[in-house]
Structure 1
């Protein structure tokens, strides 16, 4: 099962995204800030870091950079409602995906599905 670490400071959005991803078959661990995500990345394995960019204490870009140093194989997707921040994320983490708010949950799930479609295809032996 694909494991996602969600870092989102807005409680309603965090719960909303968690439910949608779990309904789509993903295992989700959710935290309310980047500083809470780092200890989990150090002790557990995640396939995807899904993080808001604008958060208190540590923004999502800094979190993603630190997370990539700890777990280089973990993929990163940013969610943000700020266009200028989207550009900065693209420059600092060029391999990451960026999903701009507002988005429909279906779009989020489709983006996550696309990131892992190779692993989700059953092998034919």
Structure 2
């Protein structure tokens, strides 16, 4: 895959250390990552740029990940959505409101994150055959 064909991920995570950690892991796996610290910063990026995946924490200030995913479906319907969270109850809410979105519960191993992202894109490739 050439650099111009790298899959693009928009990462919305309010915790700086986690955001840096996740972005580095995804970049090392070959993805182009744009990282922001809140949903209200992610939304204009979704409107202005093309992303293949929105990877969002669910609990964030100003706009939570579920609302961000709902807005993403409106402004960028081709963008897949995947959630990360440290709260089990939030996982249940996310799966009810965004049933097509994968939810990864913290803590998780970076290898698991990369595998789940690969599965999201593998499903997309299989659907286009």
User: TM-score of the superposition, structure 1-length normalised?
Assistant: 0.93
- Residue 86 of structure 2: aligned partner: 81
Indicate the SS of the match to 2:19.
Answer: helix
**Residue aligning to 1:3:** 8
> Matched residue of 2:10: which SS?
strand
Partner of 1:50: 55
Which of 66, 69, 93 lines up with 1:64 in the alignment?
69
Query: What's the counterpart of residue 21 of structure 1?
Result: 26
Distance 1:120 1:96 in 2: 17
Q: Secondary structure at the match of 2:91?
A: helix
| SS of aligned partner of 2:60 | coil
Structure 1 runs of 4+ with >6 Å offset: none
The whole-number CA distance in structure 2 between the counterparts of 1:89 and 1:112 is 17
Long gaps (5+) in structure 1: none
Deviation of the 1:73 alpha carbon: 1.1
Shift of 1:118: 5.4
- Extract unaligned runs of 5+ from structure 2: 1-5
